[in-house]
């Protein structure tokens, strides 16, 4: 029988420092998604005649509420967080569309503005909650 030993990494490797080629990928992708979403919203508001207007606007309409909901679901596991935030993003879009249609106020710029306002409000509420939690924990110590 053979014994397999796990070698511990030496102190000079990239695993020890937490830096490596894959560590900077997530912030880069988040920044790219933000730019793509912002361009989609601007193209939709400007009513630009571009073939990219439809896909980029759809990306914005799905990504903005999903990102705000994902920020609120910080404690979930990654797969559950992605699934719940994507479903929540679709639900926010459907509720905005249904509400605007029921009030006979439907317009494409109005719908995008409503989704933007709701997403911003959700994100601000999450940030306020986190800041309030930090100040109360600082007072307790």
Residue recorded with tokens 């894959």 = 22
pLDDT of amino acid 48: 87
- C-beta of residue 40 within 8 angstroms of C-beta of residue 53: yes
Residue recorded with tokens 């998604």 = 33
The mean per-residue pLDDT over the stretch 58-69 comes to 94
Residue recorded with tokens 């912002």 = 38
d(CA 88, CA 46): 27
Confidence of residue 12 (pLDDT cuts 50, 70, 90): low
pTM comes to 0.75
* DSSP structural state of residue 5: -
Q: Decide if pLDDT at 14 tops 60.
A: no
pLDDT of amino acid 16: 47
d(CA 4, CA 38): 52
What rounded mean pLDDT belongs to the chain? 86
- C-beta of residue 95 within 8 angstroms of C-beta of residue 111: no
Residue recorded with tokens 């109360």 = 136
The mean per-residue pLDDT over the stretch 13-17 comes to 51
pLDDT of amino acid 138: 67
């Amino acid at each position: 029988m053979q014994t397999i030993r796990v070698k511990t990494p030496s102190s000079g490797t990239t695993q020890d420092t937490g830096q490596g080629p894959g560590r900077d990928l997530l912030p880069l992708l988040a920044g790219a998604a933000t730019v793509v979403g912002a361009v989609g919203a601007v193209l939709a508001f400007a009513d630009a005649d571009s073939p990219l207007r439809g896909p980029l606007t759809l990306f914005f309409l799905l990504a903005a509420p999903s990102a705000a909901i994902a920020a609120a679901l910080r404690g979930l596991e990654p797969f559950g967080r992605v699934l719940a935030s994507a479903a929540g993003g679709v639900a926010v879009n459907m509720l905005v569309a249904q509400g605007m249609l029921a009030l006979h106020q439907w317009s494409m710029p109005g719908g995008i503005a409503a989704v933007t306002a709701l997403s911003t409000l959700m994100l601000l509420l999450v940030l306020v909650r986190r800041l309030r939690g930090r100040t109360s924990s600082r007072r307790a110590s």
